[in-house]
Amino acid sequence: MRKSLTSVVNSAITAPRASLTEWVGKTIRMTDGGFWGQYFGTSASGKSVTVNKAMRLTACWACVRLISETIATLPLGLYRKMEDGGRQTESGNDLHWLLRNSPNSRMTAVQFWEAVVASMLLRGNAFVEIQRMGARIVALDFLMPHRVELDADDKGNLLYWYRPPKGERRQIARTNMMHIPAFSLDGQVGLSPIAYGSDVFGSAMSAEDVAGATFKNGMHQTVAFEVDATLNKQQRDEFRDYVQRISGAMNAGVSPVLEKGVSAKTIGINPVDAQLLESREYSAEDICRFFMVDPTLVGYSDKASNWGTGLEQKLLRFLTFTLRSYMRRIEEGISRSLLSASDRRLIYPEFAIEGLLRADSAARSAFYSQMVQNGIYTRDDCRIRENLPRRGGNADVLTVQTNLSPIDQLGQSTDGQAARAALQNWLNQPEPPKE
């Protein structure tokens, strides 16, 4: 379905959206979520909700920053599956360098993945153009999602068109586009949280506007003055000047003096009765719920414990139910778009979630201790993760604790007997017969 913007606007009775002018002269398609969100997506509160306006809300800003910055700062690399079931870092692969250090000449890896995740959170989709030199991938360019237009061919395959800030619109081949959708109903195009949550964000905007107006008025309710006479226009203008002087005196802490025949009374609902603070707090909690973030992680306190095991469980829930879904989508997008079918059998990308332990030295120490004592990591493996040089020798040998032994081996040997046997062997002396 395609319509020109002129026919849409002319057939509309009202057009509440203020930013439709950017679509003038463009072809509007059913996949142009930006236009339809602006045209039909008025929130129940009457607010026009856009990405820029939503990001002015503290809860939205904090949630998007928390998720995108956390994922962007985790190490991401390529790994090769080994025949023995282990894996080896593909440090010599150019793609590993691009993903981990510098995807393009304008961005570091942190900046790049931060923009990708933020795009998924706010727009529902992230678009990355793949730059190739022959069969070799040389750069990954992040595309602003509102400049990417989606279409579909007769077979239902997505077509990608990019409109740069300057220049003609151009089509990008599917093989050169890494499209990472967030939560989706059709499995191809992600849904925009801002568009679907327009009522939630619009209500929060309305609460912020009311709060701003209330504080601007010095927390005073609207005051109406009753005069026991009928005033003409000149008298009303003079009385308004008189009222402004009274308001200035009240704001300065001076009690005003009302003249004869003038009485004041308040109208409207005071902030306490309107539960202004409660409404703003509920709006923030609703936004956090939309992004699957615990409010306490972005600075909103509650009665639940935010220390010890309480905080630990919140962070675990945040990793499991929020971060993991976005990291997995990115990993699968990299495999599908940047690796060949043959490479996907042996090479895979993965975020190192152990990076979340960097700020917790006690948890990191306990983790390494458990991995070494159970023969999973060597001491050199731990040193590498701490950016320390290898020691070699026994530091690169898997060891386990021998405090617990199988029942059928109890009494057969002890550490003392083993040490005595080793000493006898070293001295080249025959071991005395056992009694």
- DSSP characters for 79-140? EEE-TTS-EEE-TT-HHHHHHHT-SBTTB-HHHHHHHHHHHHHHHSEEEEEEEEETTEEEEE
Tell me: the pLDDT tens digits for 356-391? 766 567 777 888 888 888 888 888 888 877 767 788
Find, among 55, 33, 44, 218, the residue nearest to 121 by Cα: 55
Find, among 294, 297, 121, 296, the residue nearest to 201 by Cα: 121
Contacts of 364 (CB under 8 A, 6+ apart): 357, 358
- DSSP characters for 234-280? HHHHHHHHHHHHHHHHHHTTPPP-PPTTEEEEEES--TTTTTHHHHH
- The values of phi and psi at residue 98, to 5°, are -60, -45
Tell me: the pLDDT tens digits for 117-159? 999 999 999 999 999 998 899 999 999 999 999 998 888 889 9
pLDDT tens-digit profile, the chain (435 residues): 444 333 333 333 233 344 445 555 555 554 455 554 554 456 556 677 788 888 888 888 999 999 999 999 998 989 998 887 778 888 889 999 999 999 999 999 999 999 999 999 999 999 999 999 988 999 999 999 999 999 988 888 899 999 998 889 999 999 999 999 999 988 899 998 888 888 778 777 766 665 555 555 555 556 667 777 777 788 778 777 777 776 655 555 556 666 666 776 665 545 544 445 555 566 788 888 889 998 888 877 665 555 555 677 888 888 888 999 999 999 999 999 999 999 999 999 999 887 676 656 777 788 888 888 888 888 888 887 776 778 888 888 888 776 655 656 655 655 555 656 665 666 655 556 665
